[in-house]
Structure 1
């Protein structure tokens, strides 16, 4: 069996880098894409801003406290989409097996590539160079024999990184990899793993499969495989939509029941419009709530019938909300998503901890 050659390309500080490229006066300065106003949120931050602790999803107020000379720039989503298309044109020079993860990252399967280049690392190097010379942007790349390791490799030497994890080196590398660096392990999961004595790939590999599935459900099999360098997922050029969602960042924190219900109604209406536009139906409704202190929770419920209309969705959303204590914890953001389309067949759990949220443009109310 031919060993696969997978590349993961991740654009460095993509939105902020595009803004610095198009506005030379911002080069070398800390830049945040988003609104500087009181209720604003950072959508992306340049590496100069990250040195001060500024991160995406951070409130603008906190970002400015960390970096008083931070330059805020309004987001231009249409421009980012156009640049992303140009990046994909470069990818297609080498392979058509491209799986986009977002506007700024993708997997490429170059096992058999259009230019007959033997080493995947040489292809990754050429792609990085073309992006730099033609688009004046910087990308990081990870190369390995599966998606998990290629993704981890691309994160190792950012920015402008290029890292290869060879099969012969994989197990030793994984054994020393902090559990927080495993794809799909977020802060909550990492904390739970720490309580179980799991701190890196080696301690994860020592855990029996039945213990991991008992503690983490279906994701336990994924963690078990990853600890052994196993990931058979193919690079899928066509991604089947698994969910549709939307969220509203509120103008002010709210805790009064009537105000929360009104906002929930507006989010539900927006969600139904998106479902109608995409002709999507799913059996699971998920409520996302972010509180005033930026902590957040999700609550889900599944039904036997596909969800599509406001009449079906709003009552379920209210039921989920009834189990949320927001009177003592004012709400900053409300979101809803529909997932689990009926025609789905069982698949490995997604390597994220939330549904595929679709942010309402790049605006924060």
Structure 2
């Protein structure tokens, strides 16, 4: 039977209990224990794992009430640097699938994959690949909704939780949507839900079969028209590439998980070159340069470390970032430690036009920066595989 997801190219990817999952991923002692991520006694709940949620604990709940609901919960203080780092890595993976990534928040995004299906398979297959990569690289899970419109994909990902995929092709939209309570529609809050219930519109199907003008008289012109679109799943279908609130281009990076754990320096250095090439290419496209080069190393046991060093001048030159990445790796003296993942990140980004490189006596007029820009022009015209460092060709 044909895969129904071919007609549903919009993915909504939502991390499962993101903050709690990240906070506990290296704490096997907390398996089977309710966990709350939040501030002190006067703070609020930032996140809770699913076990804590079964006691009624929800995000934004005052901590005092959360503790009363679930007195056995373990409370963990949030580490926003770690959360932001994981979020950036996840978004980098999304952008390897498609450039059309619309970030909603640190832990969710929409992806338009219609341009990626020839390379990666059907939208449902891509959704499974995304889930597998997030789990493999970050040790957390996500749920994916697959549909032809933004709002239906959002609802589908909610139904997929935790750690699943739900596909709603156009032919199944009404069967999926219409039995739901109107409060399930994306953007319908408690007040709007209560108002619709008061006038007898309880289910999404009730809204769908109410004439638009009747809806507009009841709830207003704009909201009435919008509710009608949501009820039929015909809302916005286009995804706009948009960065997240914690991403601004203060840093850019990329990670890669090896197909099998390796201690081969040649393989590791070649991957550092590939990642440096990818990151600096994105930087030049965005018109930025950065001074701090960071590498991430994840060992076979999932232990993860980072090392960084600041350059004398901001750069977007591939070879300069690569050389520093290799220097940082060699300085670790890992001997035969087996690695699962490596990553390269450039931080402290500034506009490229604000960088004035100090000229060096005897330096050739044209150097690596000019070569990079020539490569960029070739790849824009002929595709990403048109020109690559020679050492990357052997495994291509």
TM range (shorter): 0.5 to 0.7
Q: 2:21 aligns with which of 17, 22, 34?
A: 17
Superimposed CA distance per residue, residues 61-96 of structure 1 (whole angstroms, 9 cap, x where no aligned partner):
111111111111111111111101111121122101
Report deviation, 1:225.
0.9
- Partners of 1:117 and 1:197 in 2: how far apart? 46
Residue in 1 aligned with 2:164?
A: 161
Q: Is the 8 A contact 2:117 2:123 kept in 1?
A: no
**Which residue pairs with 1:108 in the alignment?**
111
Match of 1:71 in 2: 74
Instruction: Return the offset for 1:240.
Output: 10
Mapping for residues 68-107 of structure 1, pairs under 5 Å: 68-107=71-110
In the alignment, structure 1 segments of 5+ residues that lack a partner are 242-365
Does residue 1:219 correspond to 2:258, yes or no?
no
Alignment match of 1:7 (pick from 7, 11, 18): 11
2:240 to 225, 236, 243: 236
In structure 2, how many angstroms separate the alpha carbons of the residues matched to 1:125 and 1:240?
Answer: 23
Per the alignment, residue 120 of structure 1 pairs with 123
* Largest Rg, 1 or 2: 2
Deviation at 1:25, TM superposition (A): 2.5
| CA distance 1:23–1:240, shift in 2 (3 Å) | closer
Instruction: Tell me how far apart the structure 2 counterparts of residues 109 and 201 of structure 1 sit (CA, whole Å).
Output: 25
Describe the SS at the equivalent of 1:92. helix
Deviations 1:261-298 (CA, angstroms, capped at 9, x unpaired): xxxxxxxxxxxxxxxxxxxxxxxxxxxxxxxxxxxxxx
Residue in 2 aligned with 1:301?
Answer: none
Write the distance in 2 (CA, Å) between the matches of 1:97 and 1:107. 8
TM-score when normalising by structure 2: 0.58
| Secondary structure class of the residue paired with 1:132 | helix
Cα pair 1:178 1:200 within 8 Å, conserved: yes
Hey, what does 1:264 align to over in structure 2? Answer: none
TM-align CA RMSD: 1.9
Q: Distance in 1 between matches of 2:176 and 2:67?
A: 38
Number of paired residues?
Answer: 239
Q: CA deviation at 1:8?
A: 0.3
* 2:180 equivalent to 1:171: no
Contact 1:21 1:27 in 2 (8 A): no
Taking a change above 3 Å as real, the CA distance of residues 57 and 122 of structure 1, as seen in their structure-2 partners, is: same
| Residue of structure 1 in register with 2:145 after alignment | 142
Give the C-alpha shift of residue 200 in structure 1. Answer: 1.1
CA contact (8 A) 2:106 2:244 kept: no
Distance 1:103 1:52 in 2: 25
Comparing 209-218 with 156-165, greater Cα deviation is found at 209-218
Return closer, same or farther for 1:121/1:181 CA change in 2, 3 Å cut-off.
Answer: same
Question: In the TM superposition, what whole-angstrom CA distance separates every residue of 1:346-365 from its partner, at most 9, and x where no partner exists?
Answer: xxxxxxxxxxxxxxxxxxxx
Give the distance between the partners of 1:240 and 1:14, measured in 2 at CA: 15
TM-score by length of 1: 0.62
Q: Which runs of 5+ in 2 are unaligned?
A: 1-5, 246-396
**In 2, are the aligned partners of 1:144 and 1:150 still within 8 Å (CA)?**
yes
Per-residue CA shift, 1:207-245, capped at 9, x if unaligned?
A: 12122223333121111111122013421113699xxxx
Q: Give 1:166 shift.
A: 1.1
* 1:200 and 2:203 matched: yes
Q: Is the 8 A contact 2:8 2:123 kept in 1?
A: no
Other structure's SS at 1:22 match: coil
What per-residue deviation string (whole Å, max 9, x for no partner) do you get for residues 152-195 of structure 1?
Answer: 00000311121000111112222212212111111111111101
Q: 2:212 aligns with which of 187, 209, 212?
A: 209
SS in 2 for 1:116: helix
Post-superposition CA distance 1:293-338 (Å, at most 9, x none): xxxxxxxxxxxxxxxxxxxxxxxxxxxxxxxxxxxxxxxxxxxxxx
SS in structure 1 of the partner of residue 46 of structure 2:
strand
